[in-house]
Structure 1
């Protein structure tokens, strides 16, 4: 058998050693030839043996100049097949930091050190929007982006572009997790006294009924998506159907300044669609709100939009979730209560229910969750009154033992 390694002499007299061998076939079945040139015959022989072995075992990685940016394009196209527009937008937004920090790097040259540097950059300087640019992203956002990058690199492994996923074992540092835990501990939902103070202070405000909707554990997008005819029944004891949502989607294809658009959709899960009985104070507040909106429509005449949503301005134009948030914060300032996220108002409601004897299954169903443990772990926070109840029970035990 002839030697597959040939000796060649360049014009300047330099001697090189070259071979041409078959590699793994292309995806379409066509033959793939690999040509390599080395300074010594030993280097050429070793590389030829490696290529032949890896081609036989299916572990050969074909050299490619594919960049992280190009890989993310391919992953995004695959990951968003058949998903809702809002989900696709969330995926696109999640990988933006990876595009900024790693986008021009070749995928085959990525190392674990590159991914660790990327994570540290996100935690300290990675924010581009949704806050002050150049500040750190939250641990939750960093984990989300890292997870999407891992998924993209898993695709690269499956396609044979890299031999392993260099992001697989990279994690957020313990110090960052500790700081995030300290921050979360400082951000607590309202307690019962704060909820009552807020309600008392805003009773005369036009948005009183809207704020009560946020306090019965509806998500902001669910509040904004509530419609009078389809969802609200004010007869008898009254019910409200939770299911239609109006959420903001960031669309980079639109001109700057108008990229935030509203998408209307059903809940993500079957449990998210639910029918809730109306607490009596909320039913009265919604009746008053509907009567007021009827007066506003008469006053505005043809200028009134008549969108059919519950949460609208004086001209009938529906709220977006960001406007709902701004109005809520305005009322919190007016009431002199601690400023919290609307999601923390939701936490407060669910915690109060759980800490006042409402069965766990009811709390979870009210929240629209399918996982009872998730509701208890994330949304239910023990308050001083519930802890005092525990102390009273322990007093009974200790007293009986004395």
Structure 2
């Protein structure tokens, strides 16, 4: 049961609930009008009766995410680079903006505001959670839609766990995700490729770029090549190379 008590010009709703350990706890909530207090009383009694009452929690977005990340890493056996990437997203793109907000007070419009803010934010504004001093040129390079989409993806996954853990009744993450950026890339033709190679005097750079073009390699695959991956006598003297790792 919940009870309404008038205190001066305000109205308080008093009720008892059980915490995670089954201990009875008393709670007061204050409202400026009797109508608000009455509506809240009915809501509390309904939720207590059907088992949907949300145990009050003051945990912030920062506290939750920094607890959730290592648990997810251990549970799903993330690679170190996956953990560092997600940690960077949390530290640099989420915590500086909504980290101090309480989880139970978050609404979808708060996250829509976050996405809007990020769309106007320069890349590298925060590094390891610390605000950086950017040059005028750096300030002109804004976060991409793809990056903001990744923020949305991470929050959607994290807040689903918050529901499972009983911190939230429903996730506040908007249904519609920010659109990814689509950027067309220019591709060299054969003449441009040979012209570029002819301009390179450094033999190591020449070899790296040549292998990249011939094998359609990614940056990490080129950086991961070692001497034993190159066989200059393979394929009857034509030569071969093997891609089996990346850096």
Separation in 2 of the partners of 1:37 and 1:210?
Answer: 66
1:245-301 Cα shifts (integer Å, max 9, x gaps): 22xxxxxxxxxxxxxxxxxxxxxxxxxxxxxxxxxxxxxxxxxxxxxxxxxxxxxxx
Aligned to 2:111: 115
Name the CA shift for 1:115/1:5 in 2 (closer, same or farther; >3 Å). Answer: closer
Asked whether the equivalents of residues 125 and 134 of structure 1 are also in contact (C-alpha less than 8 Å), the reply is no
1:377 corresponds in structure 2 to: none
Residue of structure 1 in register with 2:151 after alignment: 145
State the match for 1:209 in structure 2.
207
Aligned Cα RMSD in Å?
3.3
Q: Distance in 1 between matches of 2:201 and 2:12?
A: 87
The match for 2:87 is 92
Residue 161 of structure 1 pairs with residue 157 of structure 2: no
The alignment of Structure 1 onto Structure 2 pairs a total of residues equal to: 229
**SS of the residue aligned with 2:27?**
strand
Q: Does residue 245 of the first structure (1) align with residue 243 of the second (2)?
A: no
Deviation, 1:155, is: 1.9
| Per-residue deviation, 1:91 | 0.7
1:79–1:126 distance in 2 versus 1, CA, 3 Å: farther
Higher deviation after alignment, 70-79 or 40-49: 40-49
Q: 1:191–1:121: structure 2 CA closer, same or farther, 3 Å change rule?
A: farther
Encode CA deviations 1:314-356: one digit per residue, 9 max, x unaligned. Answer: xxxxxxxxxxxxxxxxxxxxxxxxxxxxxxxxxxxxxxxxxxx
Whose helix fraction is larger, Structure 1's or Structure 2's? 1
Quote the residue 1:21 is aligned against.
16
What are the equivalent positions in structure 2 for 1:3-402 lying under 5 Å apart? 5=3, 19-23=14-18, 25-26=19-20, 29-36=21-28, 47-81=40-74, 82-95=77-90, 96-128=92-124, 132-133=138-139, 135-172=141-178, 180-181=181-182, 184-185=183-184, 187-202=185-200, 205-215=203-213, 216-229=215-228, 231-237=229-235, 238-246=239-247
Instruction: Determine the structure 1 residue equivalent to 2:130.
Output: none
SS of equivalent to 1:35: strand
- Structure 1 contact 61–161 (Cα < 8 Å) conserved: yes
Query: 2:226, 2:176 → 1: CA distance?
Result: 45
In structure 2, the CA distance between the partners of 1:33 and 1:49, relative to structure 1 (3 Å rule), is: farther
3-state DSSP of counterpart to 1:80: helix
Q: TM-score, normalised by structure 1?
A: 0.49
CA positional deviation for 1:236:
3.0
Tell me, in whole angstroms, the C-alpha distance in 2 between the residues paired with 1:5 and 1:133.
55
Question: 5+ unaligned residues in a row in structure 1: which ranges?
Answer: 247-402
Cα separation, 2, equivalents of 1:48 and 1:137: 45
Contact 1:115 1:170 in 2 (8 A): no
Q: Which residue of 2 aligns with 1:297?
A: none
1:200-229 deviation per Cα after TM superposition (whole angstroms, max 9, x unaligned): 333774432221121112221121111213
Unpaired stretches in structure 2, ≥5 consecutive residues: 128-133
Cα distance, 1:37–1:245 mapped onto 2, change above 3 Å: closer
Q: Which has the larger radius of gyration?
A: 1
Q: Is the 8 A contact 2:112 2:174 kept in 1?
A: no
